[in-house]
Amino acid sequence: MAGSRVPPGVFCLEGPWSAKLTDRSSVRPILEVLEAQKIIRFAHRDAITHPEFESYVKQWTEKQYAQLAFGYFAFHGDPGLIWVGSKPYTLCDLASLCEGKLAGRIIHFGACSTLDIDEAEAMDFVRRTKARAICGYSEVVDSIESVAFDMNIIYAVTDYDRIDAGFKSLQKNHHGMCERLGLRAVWNGGSIF
């Protein structure tokens, strides 16, 4: 990161990784590493219920949080949805919640298979929400491998002014990981599908 550029802002919303009270798994330490290197600034919240999830997403879409333009949604997933606690939350539900409210924002789904959907469905999400882009995985992913790659996604996508350049950089420099994890991305005017 060159010059005196203000590090981009990341809003992370994370679900539980296990029902065990003793499980301390979290993506937060990865974000702390990126922040310590002055690559990002971040806010992190945990969401176990739909009302918590919706409340935090609504708050994130407020104008005062526009500087947290990269949304990192770290949850368990299945095609077309994330698991908020033990209940599914579909991309269609999220698009309805955020209808027209994500201009300038990017959402990365750090979740298994969430973007194992038709490209048209992903494009519809971007169109309905006005998001700058969405990205995530189409495969069932190893948690350590995917979280490590999430760091690359956050860095690459927030480091470029043009969204397509960030995704092309990922494909060029991390082609094998993009293939193995099934990286997919959609933005206004382009996609990796």
Q: Is the pLDDT of residue 2 over 60?
A: no
Q: What is the pLDDT of residue 1?
A: 45
Q: In a 3-state reduction of DSSP, which class is residue 71?
A: strand
Q: Is the pLDDT of residue 125 over 70?
A: yes
**Over residues 99-122, mean pLDDT:** 98
Q: What is the pLDDT of residue 6?
A: 85
For the chain, where are the E strands, in sequence order?
9-14, 41-46, 70-74, 76-78, 81-84, 87-90, 106-110, 133-137, 183-187, 190-192
Give the separation between CA 173 and CA 116, rounded to whole angstroms: 23
Q: What is the pLDDT of residue 18?
A: 85
**Over residues 113-120, mean pLDDT:** 98
Q: Is the pLDDT of residue 136 over 80?
A: yes
Q: Is the pLDDT of residue 4 over 90?
A: no
Q: Is the pLDDT of residue 20 over 80?
A: yes
Mean pLDDT of the chain: 95
Domains of the chain (ranges, CATH numbers): 9-16+24-192 (3.40.50.1460)
Q: Cβ distance 34 to 151 under 8 Å?
A: yes
Q: What is the pLDDT of residue 23?
A: 86
Percentage of the chain beyond pLDDT 90 is: 89
Other beta carbons within 10 Å of 109: 24
Percentage of the chain beyond pLDDT 70 is: 98
pLDDT per position as a tens digit, 79-101: 999 999 999 999 999 999 999 99
Q: What is the pLDDT of residue 80?
A: 98
Q: What is the pLDDT of residue 3?
A: 53
Q: In a 3-state reduction of DSSP, which class is residue 62?
A: coil
Least confident of 18-22, 51-55, 58-62, 130-134: 18-22
153 CB-near residues (< 8 Å, 6+ apart):
108, 135, 170, 183
